[in-house]
Amino acid sequence: MKARVLFLCTGNSARSQMAEGWLRHLADDRFEVFSAGTHPVGVNPGSVEAMAEVGIDISAHRSKSVAEFMTQPFDHVITVCDRAKESCPRWPGSTHLLHWSFDDPAAATGSDDTRRQLFRRVRDEILGQIKGFLAQEGTRLIPDAH
């Protein structure tokens, strides 16, 4: 049986979407991967663009509410923002809760280039955390993965 992983943030627009994309890409089909938000606002185009730059298409992702998943068991629930950690609900079963704190690129101000750079930085930070998670889980990366 595949381990089930839920990435949780506030808007389910950037960080959790990128984490979902990375884990699916790097671990192939060894996990069931989902993302949600405590207050979903739609997928941010900056997330789609940043992931496309590394060959991962998340353009078909949709922003989902954590309420959709409340009755489902997960092996891991990973909050990727501090506000989601503070409001993270209790999960049924023996769920392993993790917290990874990333800046919110969706809240970036400044020029388009400044915003793009923040999306890229957070995307790459998430990649590092995902690789560490996979190493901890004893899961090999798929060949030719970033």
Catalytic residue numbers read 9, 81, 88
- Sheet holding 76-79: strands in order across? 31-37, 3-9, 76-79, 96-99
Q: How far apart are CA 128 and CA 32, in angstroms?
A: 20
Residue with tokens 């769920």: 95
Q: How far apart are CA 47 and CA 12, in angstroms?
A: 11
- Element housing 99 (H / E): strand 96-99
- Element housing 37 (H / E): strand 31-37
Beta bridge partners of 33: 5
Q: Which two tokens stand for residue 102?
A: 């990333």
